[in-house]
Structures are given as structure tokens and as C-alpha cells.
Amino acid sequence: MIRLALSDIDNTLVPFGQPYASDRVFEAMRNARAAGVQFGPATGRDEQELMRFFKGDRSCFATGILSNGKKVLVDGELVWVRYVENLALQRLAEAFRPLPGCFVIAYPAKTSLDNPAYVIGANTNEMAVFEQRFKFNGIIVNEVPDMDLIAATIACTESAFTLDDVRRISRSVSPEFDVVSPVPNWFDVIPAGVSKASAFDILLGKLGLTPEEAVFFGDAENDLQIMARTPNSVAVANATPAAAEAARFHIGPVTADGVADALDELAAAAREGRTAAFLQG
């Protein structure tokens, strides 16, 4: 029986660029919880961004995996956290500074709904492209700030830079990091060994659940590890080819609220003591 449903946000639960989840998603989350299926995010986004996606309702992400596995929440309590290493990120920023259109963005652990971010090695025009797209308020600086950082990203306006290129450069100067790409030209920097999958194990342990009692919905490259970890991995119809292939099960696209439909089916299955139809294909 499924007791926990986790979902990626961008292009899985919410279409990319849409400011918040649909009313249909909110209704499905309520239905799932009422049937005893706990819902939460497993996302690269942090708390202040989830406040926007869920219209200020913290109950929607009281339990879940945030910041690509660097945070684990259970019932509103932070039970695990891992910050980004500042000196290693500074080396990374210096490596990308000479490359046209590429720069590093660092997100402070202590933040606000304004979502401030420190942009190293970019000009105002380069920053503005990503600032509008990813809804952060950029502050241009020369060096990585000396503070706790919960997240970092490499942005590349030049489409010629592939994930393999970025990973190669990153490993050569900062092997302390892994790099994943949730969307084109945007490369999340994560402490090596930390992922949605590693956080999944922590979360299950805290909740006393087995992998078989959880389901995960995803769409992109940064979902592959957690998809490999759970027997109930599900891709939305708009998933990347790699994510679609990695997932065991498949549902409708994000634009048709595929995850919301799946949550309603999980709720019905829980009430009736059966397996959800989409997990039988």
C-alpha cells in the first residue's frame, strides 16, 4: 500500500514558468491526505520558492525533499541539512568566469520570499535572462559570499555548453560537487553523494516506511537517481527521454495535471485497499 507520494515540481507538478500549482493539484493533495497518503515535494527548489508554488501553504511541503536532497523535512521539522562548500564553489566560479555567458549563482541558507541570490561573474544583462526565468533577485558580487549556502547553480546562456562539458570542468576544479541539469542551460551544483535518492533513504527512515510504500513522480535528469531507488517510479508524459526510460510507470503530462489525476487514483486505491491502476501497467 502506498503511504507516501513525492513529486518533483518543475514540469512535473507545475508547468515550467507557471507561478503556482493549479487548484486541481491542491484538491488532489487534500484527497490523498484524507485517504492516508502523505504528499510532499522531492525538488531542487528550496522553502521560499515552495511558498510561492503552494500559495503560502506550508502544509504542502511540511514533509519532503528540498534543494535536490540537501534538506529533508518531516512534519515541518528540518531533520537533515547539507550546505554547499564555499571554497569549492569559489574555485568553480573562477573556472567558469572566463567562459562566455557562464556564471555561478549562490543561494543563502537564510533567505526570504524575495529569493535573493548572489551572482558571481555575470553582467546585468546576462543575469536578467535567468533572473526572470527562475524568479530570483540577483545580487552581482565578485566572490562567493562567506555565509551558509543552501544551493548553487551554473547558468550558461550559450547552448553550446552541454551537461558533459559542465561536469568535466566542475570535476577538474571542484570534485567536491556533483552536477545535474533539471532544464537546459541550468546546472545544479550539489555536494558529491547528495541527491534526491540519498535524501529519500533518510526520509523513509524517519517515517518508518519501506521504498515499496512510496511513489515518486518526475520528469528530468535530476530525477534519475531517485527513480532508480524506488520501485514505484513514475514519469509524466512530457518527461525527458532519459527520465521516461528510467521510470517504471507513466502518467499524463504536467499540462493536464497528470500528477493530480494520479494522486486521486492513489487516494481511491488506499480507501479500497487495492493497487492504483497506474502502478499496474
Q: Give residue 40's pLDDT.
A: 98
Q: How confident is the model at residue 161, as a pLDDT?
A: 85
Mark the ranges of the chain whose per-residue pLDDT is less than 70. Answer: 281
pLDDT in tens, 29-60: 999 999 999 999 999 999 999 999 999 999 99
Nearest to 6 by CA among 250, 256, 232: 232
pLDDT of residue 113: 86
Q: Which residue has the cell 540537501?
A: 70
Report the DSSP pairing between strands 186-191 and 149-156.
Answer: antiparallel
Predicted pLDDT at 272: 97
Going from N- to C-terminal start, the domains of the chain cover 4-81+194-279, 86-191
Q: Tell me: domain 4-81+194-279, CATH 3.40.50.1000, correct? A: yes
Residue with cell 562566455: 100
Q: Check: CB of residue 158 under 8 Å from CB of residue 100.
A: yes
Q: What is the pLDDT of residue 157?
A: 83
Q: What is the pLDDT of residue 167?
A: 95
pLDDT at 92: 97
Q: How many CB atoms lie within 10 A of CB 133?
A: 14
86-191, CATH topology level = 3.30.1240
